[in-house]
Amino acid sequence: MTKKFYITSAIPYVNAAPHIGHALEFVQTNCIARYHKLVGDEVLTLCGGDENALKNVQAAEKAGSPVQEFVDKNNKLFEELTIQLNATYDVWQKGSDHAHHFPSSKKLWELCAKNDDIYQKTYEGLYCVGCETFYEREELNDQGECFEHPGKPLQTVKEKNWFFRLSKYEQQIKEKIQSGQLHIVPEKRKNEVVAFLERGLNDISISRSNERAKNWGVPVPGDPTQRIYVWFDALNIYQSGVGFGWDEKTYKKWWPADIHAIGKGITRFHAIYWPAFLLSAGLELPKNIFVHEYFTVNGQKMSKTLGNVIDPVMLIKKYGVDPLRYYFLAKFSPFNDGDFSEEEFKKTYNADLANGLGNLVARVGKLAQGLSFQLSATRLAGAPAKRVSYQQINKGAYQKALEEYRFNDALAYVWDKVKAADKHIDENEPWKLTGDVLHEVLEKSIQQIVEIATLLQPFLPDTAEKILAQFTRPTIQSQPPLFPRLT
């Protein structure tokens, strides 16, 4: 029986164009999804646009366009990136989708309310009119003003909001996490969450006045003066995208999510708030939360003000998709910050792809082509000229690595095989051989290449397919280089 496997990526803010950090998460998620597909699971992938945040409204105003138009436009850039990365999602759920997402969030709210977990309370805070946000005292300068708008004193603003009884779920969430029912990877993030829980939870505000929300976002059920706070609503995209509140059959099939892939910055929302909302609503919790770390660029944090934001689409145009996928997956540990540099990327391209895999394929392609008349009917017809099943293939340490999201270790395992294949050629010197001995040596090489390509399918889908197409037919033809060397 096939298992269902539902994986999500964090839904990005669509207030700006995507950067390489988004690309990294898309590729990691896609690699996991492809792996599960190959081992026979029925897979669904979801991502979407976090569109109901006030930041989007502010960014739209700055850009001088209507909010919906603005988020639609940015949303397209993200979807386009997933296509370029060969990492498209089955579902791309927009937060501004009135047909599916709005009723879905309404339903989540109503379930929580029914369980008596939503109540009204007056919130009082220091409000900067310029920024249109609340600040804590520690966030302000010596004069008690915000750094963006010095000279403008902050106002004490009182607002009646809807609150969620987060405190009620402290124990339950802790138990789920510690028992592994809600599995957080890596351990250090799990420990952080547990430490946070042990300090005790306060209830949180989950609505904003229409005025503050600029009438943007999902209206609070039964209170036309308020909008649902973005996080309560955004997390629910993981459910609204699979039918929650509008198609129970689909929802039942896919929920709960098997993996939420997220960046370290939003751990608390996924590991505490989200499970609490779900518990309150009487719904199942996600099974795994995979927390990855961030990129720095040339040793510095990515930021717009530093101007070191790298456009992943540009990199793909320049070097191709699979080289970028390879660099992301092979050269970084998901559990540590990694430094992205185009120089290192090019080095990796030449060392591992041009000189390594690409050259191996080229040399065997040429050796086999020169002898195709001998190989075709007699010897190659059956044995190596066949695809091997991904499920049957011996995966060894590769499999464990992949199941623990250690993409880099899995690829290192494959590259050991590339090295072994090169060695096999050098030791046997097939260019000096003829007849049966030559056939044996080349058969082995072809088998090695087919195995390598098969294992590469979740990582470098295009390349794997090209290699398999070339080497799983009776007559092998030499092909142009897979990865032309960069100078």
Q: Which of residues 51-90 bind RNA (CB under 7 A)?
A: 53-55
Q: Which of 31, 47, 112, 128 is catalytic?
A: 128
| 134 interacts with RNA by CB under 7 A | yes
Is position 183 annotated as part of the catalytic site? no
Q: Per-residue x/- marks for RNA, 427-456, CB under 7 A?
A: x-xxx-------------------------
Q: Which of 31, 47, 112, 146 is catalytic?
A: 146
Stretch that binds RNA, among 29-37, 41-49, 152-160, 199-207 (CB under 7 A): 199-207
| 359 interacts with RNA by CB under 7 A | yes
Residue from 201, 281, 316, 449 touching RNA (CB under 7 A): that is: 201
| 423 interacts with RNA by CB under 7 A | yes
Cα distance between residue 467 and residue 100, in whole Å: 42
List 296's β-bridge partners, or say none: 301, 339
Q: What angle do CA 479, 484, 487 make, to 5 degrees?
A: 155
Stretch that binds RNA, among 175-183, 305-313, 348-356, 378-386 (CB under 7 A): 348-356
Interacting residues of 432 by C-beta distance below 8 A, sequence separation 6+:
none
Stretch that binds RNA, among 21-29, 241-249, 303-311, 419-427 (CB under 7 A): 419-427
For the chain, the helix, strand and coil percentages under 3-state DSSP, each to the nearest 5: 50, 15, 35
Cα distance between residue 271 and residue 166, in whole Å: 12
Is position 47 annotated as part of the catalytic site? no
Residue with Cβ nearer RNA (338 or 458):
338
| 404 interacts with RNA by CB under 7 A | no
Cβ contact 100:246 at 8 Å: yes
Size of the site for RNA (CB under 7 A): 73
Residue with Cβ nearer RNA (142 or 343):
343
Is position 112 annotated as part of the catalytic site? no
Q: Per-residue x/- marks for RNA, 383-402, CB under 7 A?
A: --------------------
Is position 128 annotated as part of the catalytic site? yes
Which residues, numbered 279-308, are part of the site for RNA (CB under 7 A)? 301
Residue from 195, 305, 307, 391 touching RNA (CB under 7 A): that is: 195
- Extended beta strands in 213-354, E state: 219-220, 223-228, 259-263, 288-292, 295-297, 300-301, 338-340
Is position 146 annotated as part of the catalytic site? yes
Helices marked H in 199-320: 210-213, 230-235, 237-240, 248-254, 267-268, 274-281, 312-319
Cα distance between residue 206 and residue 227, in whole Å: 9
Closest Cα partner for 60 from 47, 73, 50, 76? 73
Residue from 39, 228, 259, 266 touching RNA (CB under 7 A): that is: 266
Which residues, numbered 218-237, are part of the site for RNA (CB under 7 A)? 229-231, 234
Cβ contact 2:39 at 8 Å: no
> CB of residue 247 vs RNA: minimum separation in angstroms?
27
Which residues, numbered 457-486, are part of the site for RNA (CB under 7 A)? 481-485
3-state secondary structure of 189: helix
Cβ contact 153:140 at 8 Å: no
Q: Which of 37, 55, 131, 253 is catalytic?
A: 131
Q: Which of 114, 121, 149, 160 is catalytic?
A: 149
Residue with Cβ nearer RNA (88 or 355):
355
Closest Cα partner for 466 from 357, 318, 314? 357
Interacting residues of 159 by C-beta distance below 8 A, sequence separation 6+:
122, 123, 124, 208, 209, 212
Cα distance between residue 195 and residue 17, in whole Å: 35
| 367 interacts with RNA by CB under 7 A | yes
Residue from 20, 75, 422, 459 touching RNA (CB under 7 A): that is: 422
| 358 interacts with RNA by CB under 7 A | yes
Q: Among all residues, which ones are annotated catalytic?
A: 19, 22, 128, 131, 146, 149, 301, 304
